[in-house]
Structure 1
Amino acid sequence: MKPKKNPNADLKKRTGLFFSIGLALATFASLYALNYRSVDKEKGKIEFDKVVDLTEDVKDFTMEENTPPPAAPPEPPKVEVGPEVIKQVDDKQKVETDFKANDTNKEDNANTVPPKINSTGGVAGGTGTGDEEIENDVQFFAIEQKPMFEQCKGLPKEEQEKCFKKSLDAFVNKNLVYPDAAIQMGSQGRVVVQFRIKKDGSVEVINTQGKDKILEKEARRVIEKLPKLIPGKQRDRPVAVIFSYPIVFKLN
């Protein structure tokens, strides 16, 4: 006689149940692994994994190019009036000077003939009646009353010469232009302008002396632009006065 199986011991009937239990256990294990926590045994605290914010303290990177500093512009040409230097920044800008022409005029005119005086009256052999007329031009350093600009009128006699030279320098500095053609050719040098302040105060250029015609022309042009002056006087009579004015054109 064959033994019969107990229907309660038939495992095939419970296959579905075992599968469900195994699936549940696998799911639980997966969830547990995803939510893992570590325990600090020494302190007895639970610490969760920290989330690092990679956007903190991140600065934009900037590349700087080491650009060399710009080269310094070339120094402008210089012009000297007499022994002093005029610094001319460009061909139209004002310049500064402290011209001292007294010694220059004495030097240039050391051999000047004294002025000729014609007497129109008085006793023969005497000094005349006071109606003398001075025919020759008088040098600036020898004139009794210096010619002057209008702004110098009324100043003490000892200040009139200084005022004349200062006013002349200011006028030349304002109007003098270093010719472009001379700059391009590198022309420079000293130009002496000799001019006459006539009895009526008008100015005329007698001559110019220099090594470059372009510079001579510019020096003449500036002096011819001088305004009408108060004429110089000798024995209280207006006379023509000669004045020599040196201008030095100098390139850096």
Structure 2
Amino acid sequence: MNKGWLALFLIMYSFTISAQEITSVTVQSSNSAERFPVFSDCRNLQFKALESCFYNQVQDFVFANFEVPDRLKQNDFQGNVKVLFEVDSNGTFKVIYIDATEEELIQETKRVFGKFPKIQPATYNGKPTYAKFTMALAIPLKSREVVV
């Protein structure tokens, strides 16, 4: 029975990875909060618009602040960085896990996530809670506006 669940998980995960290759930065939620974390620019939005605004703010922030290390640029590096992170109950971004082939990409990802501003945390039953997310970055980076 466990092998069946593992096979199903791997199949579903491979579809997720394929879908993530369309854009340079993809963020997905893995929480059940009733309200997403709120950036100041998203303060007046509700439900799906708030969710969409959160994802866009994260993508734009990472694109604006992430610098591919020179050594990797010079070698025309192509690859992916996968990040598991949370916005804790205080509204602080925390990296939980980074999957990357190059140590420089891991350090750069940590640096960028350390620069995120504190935001309003997610809520559940009206109380602040943490929310976990996954993000996939395709290197070289392309902004959301450039991707067709």
Q: TM-score, normalised by structure 2?
A: 0.73
Residue 83, structure 1, aligned to residue 21, structure 2: yes
- Tell whether 2:104 aligns with 1:214: yes
Residue of structure 1 in register with 2:27 after alignment? 101
Aligned twin of 1:190: 80
In the alignment, is the contact (CA less than 8 A) between 1:147 and 1:232 conserved in 2?
Answer: yes
C-alpha deviations, 1:121-162, integer Å up to 9, x for none?
xxxxxxxxxxxxxxxxxx33x221111211101212120000
Q: Which consecutive residues of structure 1, in runs of 5 or more, have no partner in the other structure?
A: 1-81, 87-98, 106-138
Letter in 2 for 1:189: G
- What amino acid sits opposite 2:67 in the alignment? V
In the alignment, what sits opposite 1:235?
Answer: 125
Could you say which residue in structure 2 is the equivalent of 1:160?
50
Q: Is the 8 A contact 2:68 2:140 kept in 1?
A: no
SS of the residue 2:52 aligns to: helix
Pairing 1:244–2:134 present:
yes
85 and 240 in structure 1: CA distance in 2 versus 1, 3 angstrom threshold: closer
Counterpart of 1:180 in structure 2 is 70
Query: Is the Cα contact below 8 Å between 2:37 and 2:122 reproduced in 1?
Result: yes
Partner of 1:123: none
Describe the SS at the equivalent of 1:199: coil
- Could you tell me which residue of structure 1 aligns to residue 114 of structure 2? 224
| Deviation by residue 1:155-199 (Cα, 9 ceiling, x = unmatched) | 121200000011111111111111102223443311111112111
Partner of 2:4: none
Distance in 1 of aligned mates of 2:94 and 2:23: 25
Query: Which stretches in structure 2 are left out of the alignment for 5+ residues?
Result: 1-19, 142-148
Change over 3 Å in CA distance of 1:215–1:227 after alignment to 2: same
Query: Given the alignment of the two structures, is residue 147 of structure 1 paired with residue 147 of structure 2, yes or no?
Result: no
Structural RMSD (CA) = 2.0
CA contact (8 A) 2:27 2:59 kept: no
Give TM-score scaled by structure 1 length. Answer: 0.45
Task: Provide Cα deviations, 1:188-247, integer angstroms capped at 9, x if missing partner.
Answer: 311111112111111111120111111122122112211001100111111111111111
1-structure distance, mates of 2:44, 2:125: 18
Distance 2:131 2:50 in 1: 15
Distance apart, 1:250 and its partner CA: 3.3
Following superposition, the deviation at residue 101 of structure 1 comes to: 3.0
Q: Aligned with 1:155: secondary structure?
A: coil
Larger Rg: 1
Identity of aligned residues (%): 27
